Amino acid sequence: MDKLLKDLLMSDGISGYEENAGKIMKEALSKVCDSVETDNFGNVIGKKGDSPKGKGDSPKGSKKIMIAAHMDEIGMVVKHINEKGFIYFIKVGGINDSVLPGKTVKIINKKGEHITGIIGTKPPHLMSDEERKAPVKFENMFIDIGLSSREEVAKVIDIGDQIIFEPSAGVLNGDFYYGKAADNRISCYAMVKIMEKLPKNLDAEVYACATAQEEVGLKGGKTSSFKLNPDFALVIDTTIAGDMPGIEEKVSALKLGKGVAITMIEASGRGTIVPQKVRKIMLEAAKENNIAHQIDIIDGGMTDAAVIYTNRDGILTGILSIPTRYIHAPASVFNIKDVESAVELAVKTIEKAVKEL
């Protein structure tokens, strides 16, 4: 596994706590961009290319292009420590309560130390019939770090400390990889590779934006796109693969290893409805360059594109999504070939957009 990809998957950075993931992105982007900054919101923005609007060779002036990939992950935050040293928490981002019991987590304190904990619940042996029938809610779960009092815990953990699932990353088998925070660090990795592969003579100023707080309201995509006001934006994110038990093809026909997904509609239209001329550019770029791809129509869920394309007076925006199994779980599975096709198609889409939009 590529070191940058592994570092991103293993790093911590729930929504609003993205500093460490941001440091990795800033260092990586500094190697492929002309300049990199971290804005007031916590977005890391790298810039590459000539100044836009009138300084290129094009009669219309060179374009301003934005690539966005969110770097935050789902997780939890310490809410309360009881007198016996058990820790209660809130969820940050969309986590199904059913994935939580028994999981190993890391609580990251103000010193940057990773404190190991186990999410506990009342044992089923001691539940009433009514309790056993009902799903356990996160409010009734707690984290055990092996200390026996509030005073002991308070020496190493504060209210407000972030909690992540135990970091993991590796090769599952062949081209199938796994890792924590694949949503959306695999797209952050792809974005770095896109900036690396874009031609130097591209008549455009390109911004790579590792956005913050996407999982809790698409916030970083909104602030960064307002600041940049690009001519064209391309969002890279993950999407739900359907090649697993329990998902019918009519719900999701996406398969790992069959290429990046070109997303056309998300959240049944409540999110982005990708403009027809942007769809055309992405589809033509894929077909002209024989890039493996799939088509994604999403009933639920949305990306930063939903706030980017509605910002200011409207920004032409496309979405490339990497099929992933077990999104919003402690670990996800993806195919590295799909990440590579996302990079290839993004580069060709941007080249085509610069000429045609």
Question: Which residues have a catalytic role annotated?
Answer: 214
Structure tokens at 90: 């809130």
**In terms of C-beta density within 10 A (0-12 exposed, 13-18 middle, 19 or more buried), how is residue 233 classed?**
buried
Residue with tokens 């804005």: 39
16: left (phi over 0), alpha (psi -120 to 50) or beta: left
150-177 core/surface letters (b: 16 or more CB in 10 A; e: else): eeebeeebeeebbbbbbbbbeeeeeeeb
* Rounded CA separation 87/237 (Å): 32
Contact status, residue 157 vs residue 111, Cβ threshold 8 Å: no
Q: 340 vs 122, 254, 257, 286, CA distance in Å?
A: 44, 16, 10, 13
